[in-house]
Copies of this chain bind each other. A is one copy, B any other.
Amino acid sequence: MSQSFDIAVIGATGTVGETLVQILEERDFPVGNLHLLASSESAGHSVPFRGKNVRVREVDEFDFSKVQLVFFAAGPAVTLSFASRAVAAGCSLIDLSGALPADQAPQLVPEANADILASLKKPFQVSSPSPSATTLAVVLAPLLGLLDLQRIHVTACLAVSAQGREAVTELARQTAELLNVRPLEPTFFDRQMAFNLLAQVGKPDDQGHTLLEKRLVRELRQVMALPLLKISVTCIQAPVFFGDSFSVTLQSASAVDLAKVNAALEDAPGIELVEAGDYPTAVGDAVGQDVVYVGRVRHGVDDLSELNLWLTSDNVRKGAALNAVQVAELLIKDLL
Protein backbone atom coordinates (compact mmCIF):
# COMPACT_ATOMS: atom_id res chain seq x y z
CA MET A 1 0.00 0.00 0.00
CA SER A 2 1.36 3.38 -0.98
CA GLN A 3 1.09 6.50 1.14
CA SER A 4 -2.14 7.46 -0.57
CA PHE A 5 -5.74 6.70 0.32
CA ASP A 6 -8.79 5.92 -1.70
CA ILE A 7 -11.49 8.29 -0.57
CA ALA A 8 -15.23 8.72 -1.01
CA VAL A 9 -17.15 11.96 -0.52
CA ILE A 10 -20.91 11.61 -0.10
CA GLY A 11 -22.86 14.79 -0.80
CA ALA A 12 -20.21 15.93 -3.26
CA THR A 13 -22.51 18.34 -5.09
CA GLY A 14 -23.56 20.31 -2.00
CA THR A 15 -21.86 23.52 -0.83
CA VAL A 16 -19.86 21.73 1.87
CA GLY A 17 -19.07 18.61 -0.23
CA GLU A 18 -17.77 20.63 -3.15
CA THR A 19 -15.61 22.77 -0.87
CA LEU A 20 -14.31 19.62 0.82
CA VAL A 21 -13.10 18.23 -2.52
CA GLN A 22 -11.45 21.57 -3.27
CA ILE A 23 -9.67 21.57 0.12
CA LEU A 24 -8.42 17.98 -0.38
CA GLU A 25 -6.71 19.28 -3.52
CA GLU A 26 -5.44 22.54 -1.98
CA ARG A 27 -3.85 20.76 0.97
CA ASP A 28 -2.31 18.00 -1.17
CA PHE A 29 -4.19 15.39 0.76
CA PRO A 30 -2.79 11.98 -0.32
CA VAL A 31 -5.81 10.97 -2.36
CA GLY A 32 -5.43 7.85 -4.51
CA ASN A 33 -8.78 7.22 -6.14
CA LEU A 34 -11.52 9.76 -5.41
CA HIS A 35 -15.13 8.58 -5.51
CA LEU A 36 -17.76 11.30 -5.50
CA LEU A 37 -21.19 10.15 -4.44
CA ALA A 38 -24.62 11.70 -4.09
CA SER A 39 -28.30 10.90 -4.21
CA SER A 40 -29.78 9.77 -7.53
CA GLU A 41 -30.94 13.35 -8.34
CA SER A 42 -27.38 14.71 -8.22
CA ALA A 43 -25.62 11.71 -9.75
CA GLY A 44 -24.30 12.43 -13.23
CA HIS A 45 -23.01 15.91 -12.35
CA SER A 46 -19.26 16.33 -12.16
CA VAL A 47 -16.94 18.17 -9.77
CA PRO A 48 -13.41 19.35 -10.65
CA PHE A 49 -10.44 17.71 -8.90
CA ARG A 50 -6.77 17.99 -9.91
CA GLY A 51 -7.59 19.35 -13.35
CA LYS A 52 -10.15 16.70 -14.22
CA ASN A 53 -13.92 16.54 -13.88
CA VAL A 54 -14.87 13.69 -11.58
CA ARG A 55 -18.30 12.26 -12.28
CA VAL A 56 -20.68 11.99 -9.31
CA ARG A 57 -22.19 8.52 -8.89
CA GLU A 58 -25.12 7.18 -6.93
CA VAL A 59 -24.28 6.36 -3.32
CA ASP A 60 -26.81 3.46 -3.29
CA GLU A 61 -24.68 1.37 -5.60
CA PHE A 62 -21.31 2.12 -4.05
CA ASP A 63 -19.02 -0.65 -2.79
CA PHE A 64 -17.42 0.86 0.34
CA SER A 65 -14.67 -1.77 0.37
CA LYS A 66 -13.09 0.22 -2.49
CA VAL A 67 -12.07 3.05 -0.13
CA GLN A 68 -10.29 3.45 3.19
CA LEU A 69 -12.06 6.68 4.21
CA VAL A 70 -15.45 8.22 3.51
CA PHE A 71 -16.71 11.74 4.26
CA PHE A 72 -20.45 12.02 4.92
CA ALA A 73 -21.23 15.58 3.79
CA ALA A 74 -24.94 15.09 3.03
CA GLY A 75 -27.85 15.21 5.51
CA PRO A 76 -28.33 13.10 8.65
CA ALA A 77 -30.66 10.65 6.84
CA VAL A 78 -27.91 9.75 4.36
CA THR A 79 -25.42 9.15 7.17
CA LEU A 80 -27.90 6.95 9.04
CA SER A 81 -28.58 4.95 5.84
CA PHE A 82 -24.99 4.23 4.84
CA ALA A 83 -22.67 4.60 7.85
CA SER A 84 -23.03 1.02 9.04
CA ARG A 85 -22.44 -0.32 5.50
CA ALA A 86 -19.23 1.70 5.28
CA VAL A 87 -17.98 0.51 8.64
CA ALA A 88 -18.91 -3.10 7.88
CA ALA A 89 -16.73 -2.81 4.76
CA GLY A 90 -13.80 -1.77 6.97
CA CYS A 91 -13.98 1.85 5.88
CA SER A 92 -13.28 4.69 8.32
CA LEU A 93 -15.72 7.59 8.26
CA ILE A 94 -15.95 11.27 9.08
CA ASP A 95 -19.53 12.49 9.46
CA LEU A 96 -20.47 16.16 9.08
CA SER A 97 -24.23 15.71 9.56
CA GLY A 98 -24.43 15.36 13.34
CA ALA A 99 -26.41 12.13 12.92
CA LEU A 100 -24.19 9.80 14.93
CA PRO A 101 -24.11 9.65 18.74
CA ALA A 102 -20.93 10.73 20.50
CA ASP A 103 -20.16 7.25 21.84
CA GLN A 104 -20.14 5.91 18.28
CA ALA A 105 -18.45 8.84 16.52
CA PRO A 106 -17.08 11.50 18.88
CA GLN A 107 -16.96 15.12 17.75
CA LEU A 108 -13.41 16.17 16.91
CA VAL A 109 -11.89 19.63 16.39
CA PRO A 110 -8.14 19.15 15.90
CA GLU A 111 -7.24 22.45 17.61
CA ALA A 112 -9.27 21.44 20.69
CA ASN A 113 -9.44 17.70 21.37
CA ALA A 114 -7.05 15.79 19.09
CA ASP A 115 -6.17 13.69 22.17
CA ILE A 116 -9.37 11.64 21.81
CA LEU A 117 -7.85 9.94 18.76
CA ALA A 118 -5.83 7.67 21.02
CA SER A 119 -9.00 6.01 22.30
CA LEU A 120 -10.51 5.25 18.87
CA LYS A 121 -10.52 1.83 17.20
CA LYS A 122 -10.38 1.02 13.47
CA PRO A 123 -12.32 1.51 11.34
CA PHE A 124 -12.43 5.00 12.81
CA GLN A 125 -15.76 6.80 13.19
CA VAL A 126 -15.45 10.51 13.90
CA SER A 127 -17.91 13.43 13.74
CA SER A 128 -16.98 16.92 12.58
CA PRO A 129 -19.20 19.27 14.64
CA SER A 130 -21.59 21.94 13.43
CA PRO A 131 -19.88 25.10 12.13
CA SER A 132 -20.87 27.01 15.28
CA ALA A 133 -19.47 24.41 17.68
CA THR A 134 -16.28 24.08 15.62
CA THR A 135 -15.68 27.84 15.60
CA LEU A 136 -16.31 28.18 19.32
CA ALA A 137 -14.12 25.16 20.18
CA VAL A 138 -11.15 26.55 18.22
CA VAL A 139 -11.33 29.78 20.25
CA LEU A 140 -12.18 28.29 23.64
CA ALA A 141 -9.38 25.70 23.55
CA PRO A 142 -6.49 28.12 24.19
CA LEU A 143 -8.51 30.09 26.78
CA LEU A 144 -9.77 27.34 29.08
CA GLY A 145 -6.57 27.27 31.16
CA LEU A 146 -6.78 31.03 31.72
CA LEU A 147 -10.35 31.18 33.00
CA ASP A 148 -12.33 29.73 35.82
CA LEU A 149 -15.15 29.29 33.34
CA GLN A 150 -18.68 29.43 34.78
CA ARG A 151 -20.83 30.02 31.77
CA ILE A 152 -20.77 30.82 28.07
CA HIS A 153 -23.28 33.06 26.30
CA VAL A 154 -23.46 32.95 22.53
CA THR A 155 -25.59 34.77 20.03
CA ALA A 156 -24.70 33.13 16.73
CA CYS A 157 -25.63 35.17 13.62
CA LEU A 158 -25.65 32.56 10.88
CA ALA A 159 -25.25 33.00 7.13
CA VAL A 160 -28.00 31.75 4.84
CA SER A 161 -25.54 29.46 3.00
CA ALA A 162 -25.77 27.06 5.96
CA GLN A 163 -29.18 26.20 4.53
CA GLY A 164 -27.85 25.48 1.07
CA ARG A 165 -27.86 27.08 -2.37
CA GLU A 166 -31.61 27.68 -2.43
CA ALA A 167 -31.36 29.96 0.61
CA VAL A 168 -28.54 31.94 -1.01
CA THR A 169 -30.58 32.42 -4.18
CA GLU A 170 -33.62 33.49 -2.21
CA LEU A 171 -31.77 36.17 -0.22
CA ALA A 172 -30.46 37.63 -3.49
CA ARG A 173 -33.89 37.45 -5.12
CA GLN A 174 -35.73 39.03 -2.16
CA THR A 175 -33.15 41.82 -1.99
CA ALA A 176 -33.46 42.61 -5.68
CA GLU A 177 -37.25 42.65 -5.45
CA LEU A 178 -37.20 45.08 -2.54
CA LEU A 179 -34.68 47.41 -4.20
CA ASN A 180 -36.85 47.42 -7.31
CA VAL A 181 -39.97 48.05 -5.22
CA ARG A 182 -41.58 44.86 -6.45
CA PRO A 183 -43.89 42.83 -4.19
CA LEU A 184 -41.99 40.38 -2.02
CA GLU A 185 -42.87 36.71 -2.39
CA PRO A 186 -40.90 34.58 0.09
CA THR A 187 -40.50 30.95 -0.96
CA PHE A 188 -37.56 29.30 0.82
CA PHE A 189 -37.84 31.45 3.96
CA ASP A 190 -41.33 31.87 5.38
CA ARG A 191 -41.00 35.65 5.57
CA GLN A 192 -38.80 38.58 4.53
CA MET A 193 -35.13 37.67 4.98
CA ALA A 194 -33.63 40.63 3.11
CA PHE A 195 -32.81 43.61 5.40
CA ASN A 196 -34.22 41.63 8.34
CA LEU A 197 -33.09 39.23 11.10
CA LEU A 198 -34.89 35.97 11.85
CA ALA A 199 -34.87 34.95 15.51
CA GLN A 200 -34.46 31.24 14.90
CA VAL A 201 -33.04 28.83 12.33
CA GLY A 202 -35.31 25.82 11.93
CA LYS A 203 -38.34 24.88 14.00
CA PRO A 204 -38.06 24.97 17.81
CA ASP A 205 -39.03 22.03 20.05
CA ASP A 206 -41.66 22.26 22.80
CA GLN A 207 -39.14 23.96 25.06
CA GLY A 208 -38.40 26.57 22.39
CA HIS A 209 -34.92 25.35 21.46
CA THR A 210 -33.94 24.65 17.86
CA LEU A 211 -31.99 21.58 16.79
CA LEU A 212 -29.00 23.78 15.93
CA GLU A 213 -28.98 25.29 19.42
CA LYS A 214 -29.19 21.92 21.13
CA ARG A 215 -26.54 20.52 18.81
CA LEU A 216 -24.20 23.41 19.62
CA VAL A 217 -24.55 22.84 23.36
CA ARG A 218 -24.10 19.06 23.10
CA GLU A 219 -21.15 19.19 20.72
CA LEU A 220 -19.29 21.99 22.45
CA ARG A 221 -19.59 20.26 25.83
CA GLN A 222 -18.22 17.05 24.34
CA VAL A 223 -15.34 18.66 22.44
CA MET A 224 -14.29 20.74 25.46
CA ALA A 225 -14.74 17.71 27.76
CA LEU A 226 -16.92 19.87 30.01
CA PRO A 227 -20.19 17.90 30.14
CA LEU A 228 -21.79 20.26 32.67
CA LEU A 229 -20.71 23.56 31.14
CA LYS A 230 -23.55 26.06 31.11
CA ILE A 231 -24.00 27.33 27.57
CA SER A 232 -26.64 29.90 26.78
CA VAL A 233 -27.26 30.01 23.05
CA THR A 234 -29.42 31.77 20.50
CA CYS A 235 -28.90 31.05 16.80
CA ILE A 236 -30.35 33.70 14.51
CA GLN A 237 -30.48 33.97 10.73
CA ALA A 238 -28.72 37.04 9.36
CA PRO A 239 -29.14 38.45 5.82
CA VAL A 240 -25.54 37.45 5.04
CA PHE A 241 -24.62 35.03 2.24
CA PHE A 242 -21.45 33.46 3.67
CA GLY A 243 -19.67 33.65 7.02
CA ASP A 244 -21.02 33.20 10.55
CA SER A 245 -20.52 35.81 13.28
CA PHE A 246 -20.67 35.22 17.03
CA SER A 247 -21.18 37.57 19.95
CA VAL A 248 -19.65 35.63 22.86
CA THR A 249 -19.41 36.27 26.59
CA LEU A 250 -17.40 34.00 28.86
CA GLN A 251 -18.10 34.36 32.56
CA SER A 252 -15.18 33.50 34.80
CA ALA A 253 -15.28 33.14 38.58
CA SER A 254 -12.40 35.58 38.91
CA ALA A 255 -10.85 38.56 37.08
CA VAL A 256 -9.77 37.76 33.53
CA ASP A 257 -6.22 38.76 32.55
CA LEU A 258 -6.71 40.31 29.10
CA ALA A 259 -2.98 40.40 28.34
CA LYS A 260 -2.79 36.64 28.81
CA VAL A 261 -5.98 36.12 26.78
CA ASN A 262 -4.58 38.16 23.90
CA ALA A 263 -1.25 36.33 24.05
CA ALA A 264 -2.97 32.94 24.05
CA LEU A 265 -5.17 33.87 21.09
CA GLU A 266 -2.16 35.26 19.24
CA ASP A 267 -0.27 31.97 19.66
CA ALA A 268 -3.12 29.53 19.08
CA PRO A 269 -3.46 27.53 15.85
CA GLY A 270 -6.47 28.24 13.64
CA ILE A 271 -7.02 31.78 14.97
CA GLU A 272 -6.32 35.24 13.61
CA LEU A 273 -6.55 37.92 16.30
CA VAL A 274 -7.55 41.33 14.96
CA GLU A 275 -5.92 44.34 16.59
CA ALA A 276 -7.68 46.22 19.39
CA GLY A 277 -10.10 48.92 18.20
CA ASP A 278 -10.70 47.10 14.92
CA TYR A 279 -12.88 44.01 14.41
CA PRO A 280 -13.28 41.28 11.81
CA THR A 281 -16.37 40.77 9.65
CA ALA A 282 -17.74 37.74 7.83
CA VAL A 283 -17.50 39.32 4.39
CA GLY A 284 -14.32 41.32 4.84
CA ASP A 285 -12.22 38.73 6.66
CA ALA A 286 -13.56 35.24 7.26
CA VAL A 287 -14.99 34.15 3.94
CA GLY A 288 -12.59 31.92 2.01
CA GLN A 289 -10.16 31.75 4.92
CA ASP A 290 -8.87 28.84 7.00
CA VAL A 291 -8.92 30.55 10.39
CA VAL A 292 -11.42 31.87 12.91
CA TYR A 293 -11.11 35.65 13.23
CA VAL A 294 -11.34 37.08 16.76
CA GLY A 295 -11.83 40.71 17.74
CA ARG A 296 -13.39 43.03 20.33
CA VAL A 297 -11.53 41.21 23.12
CA ARG A 298 -12.66 43.06 26.24
CA HIS A 299 -13.93 42.83 29.79
CA GLY A 300 -17.54 43.57 30.64
CA VAL A 301 -18.58 47.14 31.41
CA ASP A 302 -17.59 47.31 35.12
CA ASP A 303 -16.97 43.56 35.24
CA LEU A 304 -13.42 42.20 35.08
CA SER A 305 -14.61 38.59 35.42
CA GLU A 306 -16.40 38.81 32.08
CA LEU A 307 -14.60 38.21 28.78
CA ASN A 308 -16.33 39.38 25.60
CA LEU A 309 -15.32 38.32 22.11
CA TRP A 310 -16.53 38.74 18.54
CA LEU A 311 -15.77 35.78 16.27
CA THR A 312 -16.30 35.23 12.61
CA SER A 313 -15.56 32.24 10.42
CA ASP A 314 -16.37 30.78 7.02
CA ASN A 315 -19.26 28.46 7.87
CA VAL A 316 -18.74 26.27 4.81
CA ARG A 317 -14.95 26.17 4.93
CA LYS A 318 -13.44 26.53 8.45
CA GLY A 319 -16.73 25.61 10.11
CA ALA A 320 -17.32 22.41 8.13
CA ALA A 321 -15.25 21.20 5.14
CA LEU A 322 -11.83 22.25 6.40
CA ASN A 323 -12.37 20.83 9.88
CA ALA A 324 -13.36 17.49 8.34
CA VAL A 325 -10.19 17.46 6.21
CA GLN A 326 -8.07 18.41 9.23
CA VAL A 327 -9.64 15.46 11.08
CA ALA A 328 -8.78 13.24 8.10
CA GLU A 329 -5.17 14.44 8.20
CA LEU A 330 -4.96 13.22 11.77
CA LEU A 331 -6.74 9.92 11.08
CA ILE A 332 -4.54 8.85 8.19
CA LYS A 333 -1.46 8.89 10.40
CA ASP A 334 -2.94 5.83 12.09
CA LEU A 335 -4.80 4.40 9.13
CA LEU A 336 -1.92 2.63 7.39
Contact = CB atoms under 8 A, between A and B. Distances in A.
Interface in A250-280: 251, 276-277, 279-280
A295 interface: yes
Interface stretch (A5-13, A17-25, A103-111, A208-216): A208-216
Contacts of A310: 199-200, 234, 236
Given A296-B208, A300-B232, A240 B195 contact: yes
A230 B303 contact: yes
A183 interface: no
Contacts of A234: 155, 247, 249, 296, 308, 310
**Max chain B Cβ within 10 angstroms of own Cβ: one of A245, A279, A280, A284:** A279
Contact of A281 (B171, B192, B203, B297): B192
Interface string A180-207: 0000000000011001111110011001
Contact of A284 (B176, B196, B299): B196
A146 interface: no
Given A179-B179, A234-B296, A247-B234, A279 B196 contact: no
Contacts of A316: none
A302 interface: yes
A233 interface: yes
A298 interface: yes
B232 A306 contact: yes
